[in-house]
């Protein structure tokens, strides 16, 4: 194991399952479970935490989580998860940081996928990237030119842009001005 690289946990929250992997340049341990009750917000949070706990070790320095929804990555708030009806406005970053005492980064799952492919997968060395993520929902992040860093929106499409956080300028609750989805650092 390379000790010069940080040990982190990556979490993929889907509409029916949650998966977590402990990573040091590559996945060194992983866990998965089905969500027990998507109609109860606390049950989903408990399932996410239980999955993280299965791969958590003292060496872990941060947690990153991709969520299939509208996300405010700066505040770590998840909005209106289509396949998890109880999640209308969940302050997930705050909840996980309080529970695990580690920094937590949250973003839309399609953005996380694209960023991972660009840096570690088939997108390495490319100037252009189009991704397609198919699960319980559909996301399609695309980028032409240098890949954006945090603060730069992706240009994407979605089967349901009002509920998916992968659109470049997305519908937000009526009280909030539209703003771009940002990539996590």
19 DSSP assignment: E
| Of 52, 58, 102, 50, nearest in space to 76 by CA | 102
CATH architecture of 7-108: 2-Layer Sandwich (3.30)
Best-predicted range by mean pLDDT (29-38, 119-128, 162-171) = 29-38
Region 106-127 average pLDDT: 82
Q: By three-state DSSP, how is residue 84 classified? A: coil
Region 114-118 average pLDDT: 80
Share of the chain above pLDDT 90, in %: 41
Region 113-141 average pLDDT: 77
Q: By three-state DSSP, how is residue 119 classified? A: helix
pLDDT digits (tens, 9 = 90+) for 10-50: 999 988 899 999 988 778 889 999 998 878 899 999 999 99
Residue 118, phi then psi, degrees to nearest 5: -65, -45
Inter-residue long-range contacts of 168-172, CB under 8 Å, 24+ positions, other chains counted: 170/70, 172/70, 172/79
Q: Hey, what are 137's tokens? A: 């929902």
- Residue 184 to residue 166: CA distance in whole angstroms: 13
Q: Check: CB of residue 118 under 8 Å from CB of residue 112.
A: no
Domain-wise residue ranges, the chain = 7-108
| pTM, rounded to two decimals | 0.74
């Amino acid at each position: 194991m390379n000790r010069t690289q940080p040990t982190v946990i990556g979490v993929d929250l889907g509409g029916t399952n949650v998966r977590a992997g402990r990573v040091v340049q590559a996945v060194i341990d992983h866990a998965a479970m089905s969500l027990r009750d998507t109609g109860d917000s606390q049950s989903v949070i408990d399932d996410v935490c239980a999955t993280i706990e299965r791969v958590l070790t003292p060496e872990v320095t941060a947690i990153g989580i991709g969520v299939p929804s509208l996300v405010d990555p700066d505040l770590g708030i998840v909005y209106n998860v289509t396949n998890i009806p109880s999640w209308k406005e969940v302050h997930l970053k705050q909840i996980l940081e309080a529970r695990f005492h580690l920094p937590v980064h949250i973003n839309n799952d399609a953005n996380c996928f694209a960023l991972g492919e660009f840096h570690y997968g088939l997108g390495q060395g490319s100037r252009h990237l189009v991704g397609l993520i198919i699960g319980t929902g559909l996301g399609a992040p695309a980028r032409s030119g240098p890949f954006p860093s945090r603060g730069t929106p992706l240009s994407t499409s979605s089967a349901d842009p009002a509920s998916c956080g992968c659109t470049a300028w997305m519908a937000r609750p009526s009280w909030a001005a539209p703003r771009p989805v940002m990539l996590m650092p």
